[in-house]
Amino acid sequence: MLQGQKISRQSQVTVGSVPSDQVRAESTERYALSAQEKKHPTAALLTVPVTAALALGIHLFVAKNEPPNESRTYTIVLGSFFAGAIVAAVMQRWWPALQTRMRRFRPLFTVGVLLLCVWEVITSGFRMLPLPYFPSPAGVVQSMINDRGLLFDSTWHSLVLLLSGYLLGVVAGLVTGVCIGWSGPARYWGMPLLKVVGPIPATAWIPLAMVISPSALISAAGLIALAVWFPVTMLTASGISNTRASYLDVARTLGANARYLVFRIAIPAALPSIFVGLFMGLGASFLTLVVAESVGVKSGLGWYVSWAQGWAEYGKVYAALVIMAVFFSTIMTLLFKLRDRVLVWQKGMIRW
Amino acid sequence: MVASSLQLRDVGKSFPAPDQPLTRQPVLETISISLEAGELVSLVGPSGCGKSTLLRLIAGLDFPDSGELLVDEEPISGPSAERGLVFQDPNLFPWLTVRRNIEAGLAARGVLQQKRSEVKEFMRLVGLEAFADAYPHHLSGGMAQRVALARALINHPKVLLLDEPLGALDAFTRMRMQDEVLRLWQNRRTTMLLVTHDIDEAIYMSDRIIILTQRPGTIEQIIPIALDRPRDRSSSDFLSLRSEILELLHFAGNRTSEVTA
């Protein structure tokens, strides 16, 4: 449960189907001009472009230590960021939505770019970290561009494997969770099994999965599904069995049959808890995906990382990690959006 | 006929004692009540005397240990849409909008398609058309309770059981809601059984008041209220009835501990 609360704290303000004025007002207030910004509005506006210029300067200064093609690519990346920052700073005067957004992300962008500077200084600049294990940001960007075909292919394979395993696990978890949460006999027999088998990390089944499954891909999907199944079942069952008895009583006096009680009362009432299970399951599925791809499956980002490591191409390793971060956080964000939409009735009831 | 008669014969009910699960504590003993179709009767009694238990038995959510409960001479075998129940807590389904909460009774019986037109009528009846698409936690207590009433009424129950439905409301809202419930009752002529802590409410609303004793609850007295409607809360007849009932409940002359909240 704790983990679930943490997750919901992380969620951002989303518009969803709630009156967007309200949300906009709230975020405008939250990202209102600070006292310093009011004193020097132009200075505040220029924070990001100036930082980008600084990064560009540092890069050009240390560029002699880097292979020319890497250096050129990274110059283009930083240059476009710089240009984008300038354009945004100018445009925001006529575009209030952009202004709010800029105000909100300005500190994050600034610190992010500064971190890139630090990285470049300690790698290409002073050579403080051993190569090939710690390439410069320019090297990582170059690896990403050089190997884009294989990286794209790996991401696609990871996506297919992840989604098939995740969806399988969610469906199975919802079915068993509802049964265990609703029916006495199912709880009696299902709960001990769940308590004993559930906590085993799905990756611990890899040896067994390799023996019994015809293909590594199918066994990997099965393992991901297993990893997802446990938290989804657990939290669905607890959500269902914690349905307020008075909701069920009211529904029965309204003429509800068992089907209505399960699907229209117990499941909606359990949805907040079910979503906690879905988030926990998603985390478990990322872990299992990467492990399964590193040991058995011959495709995907997990495979790519260990393959690149085998060739000591650490630029590619980091490139794959960056893509993994974007890939996983995008999926996580999509699940947040889905939750915000489905649980819109909770808005205002609990702290989001 | 839209209303049912209700007979309770020697109904008794006990529950396991909380500290000793093997012994049972009687909650209700030998309750015999008969309600005519279309009658509005209040149940008044001290806390824990089994008023709510009695309503749950009539609703079919619980079963008696002894005695029998009959609706139109038929024994009660379980919950039914013909016997609506409204609790003190409105218990609106928080994941449904006001409209969908009101529709719930039709949806549960699978007749929503045929009777969708009635939803609007019931929203108008309780004056909540403007809030059709609001979620329950945006509503005030009085509004939420009106939705709960509409939700119970949309099934046209022949018996409406009200378990302190206005108990959580402030004094002004409560008096207004009393008139609303009376208006609904006069329009629909449902048989109503109202549990309340509020003597004024009982006198103002009901045809008869049933006074229960301390736990285990038995019937202490049944008082018919012969006043004409609409009733005047400050008339001398009203006030003398009030002091008569307070005396019965042993509160006379001690105004600080009136049961009227």
List the CATH number of the domain containing A314.
Answer: 1.10.3720.10
Predicted local distance difference test score (pLDDT) of residue A29: 53
Q: Report whether pLDDT(B207) > 90.
A: yes
Cα nearest neighbour of B148 on chain A: A250
Residue-level pLDDT at A191:
93
Facing B137 at nearest CB: one of A268, A271, A349:
A349
- Distance from the A249 Cα atom to the nearest Cα atom in chain B, whole angstroms: 7
Element (H, E) at B28: strand B24-35
* Segments forming the whole domain that contains residue A292: 148-346
**Which of A246, A250, A349 minimises the CB distance to B94?**
A349
> B85 to chain A nearest CA, in Å?
6
B32: left (phi over 0), alpha (psi -120 to 50) or beta: beta
A206: nearest Cα among A304, A289, A307, A328: A289
Element (H, E) at B69: strand B66-71
Count up the domains in chain A and report the number: 2
CB under 8 Å to A300, separation ≥6 — which residues?
A154, A157, A158, A161, A289, A293
Q: What is the structure's pLDDT at A288? A: 95
Position A39 scores a pLDDT of 63
DSSP string, A12-72: PP--TTS-HHHHHHHHHHHTPPPHHHHH-HHHHHTHHHHHHHHHHHHHHHHGGGS-HHHHH
In a domain? residue A15: no
Mean per-residue pLDDT over chain B, rounded: 87
Tell if the CB–CB gap between A253 and B152 is shorter than 8 Å: yes
In a domain, A9, yes or no: no
The pLDDT of residue A35:
62
| Predicted pLDDT at A185 | 95
Above pLDDT 70, what percent of chain B? 95
Q: In chain B, what's the furthest Cα-to-Cα distance? A: 57
Q: What is the CA radius of gyration of chain B?
A: 19
Asked if residue A159 and residue A115 are part of one domain, the reply reads no
In a domain, A98, yes or no: yes
Do residues A247 and A321 share a domain?
A: yes
Whole-prediction pTM value? 0.84
Please tell me the least confidently modeled range out of B20-34, B74-88, B166-180, B241-255.
B241-255
Asked if residue A336 and residue A191 are part of one domain, the reply reads yes
pLDDT score for A18? 40
Rg of chain A, C-alpha, whole Å: 25
Q: Are residues A34 and A180 in the same domain?
A: no
The pLDDT assigned to B187 comes to: 85
Domain assignment present for A168: yes
Q: Clarify whether residues A71 and A216 are in a common domain.
A: no
- Please report the ipTM that was assigned to this predicted complex: 0.89
Checking if the pLDDT of B240 tops 50, the result is yes
Q: Which residue has the tokens 């049933």?
A: B210
- Percent of chain B exceeding pLDDT 90 equals 44
Residues in chain A, pLDDT under 70 = 1-41, 351-352
Q: Are residues A228 and A278 in the same domain?
A: yes
Indicate whether A11 belongs to any domain: no
Of A75, A99, A131, which residue constitutes the final position of a domain?
A: A131
**A222 with A113, same domain?**
no
Q: Are residues A178 and A321 in the same domain?
A: yes
In a domain, A312, yes or no: yes
Answer yes or no: do A345 and B87 touch at CB < 8 A: no
* Residue B209 in this model has a pLDDT that exceeds 90: yes
Omega before residue A268 within 30° of 0, cis: no
Tell me whether residue A24 is in a domain.
no
What integer is the mean pLDDT of B91-101?
Answer: 95
Q: Could you tell me if A161 and A300 lie in one domain?
A: yes
Specify whether A99 is located in the same domain as A155: no
Q: What is the pLDDT of residue A32?
A: 58
Q: Do A38 and A182 sit in the same domain of this protein?
A: no
Q: Do residues A113 and A158 both lie within one domain?
A: no
Best of B56, B95, B193 to disrupt the A interface by mutation (most A CBs within 10 Å)? B95
A167 domain residue, yes or no = yes
pLDDT tens column, B112-159: 988 888 898 888 878 888 899 999 999 988 899 989 989 998 998 999
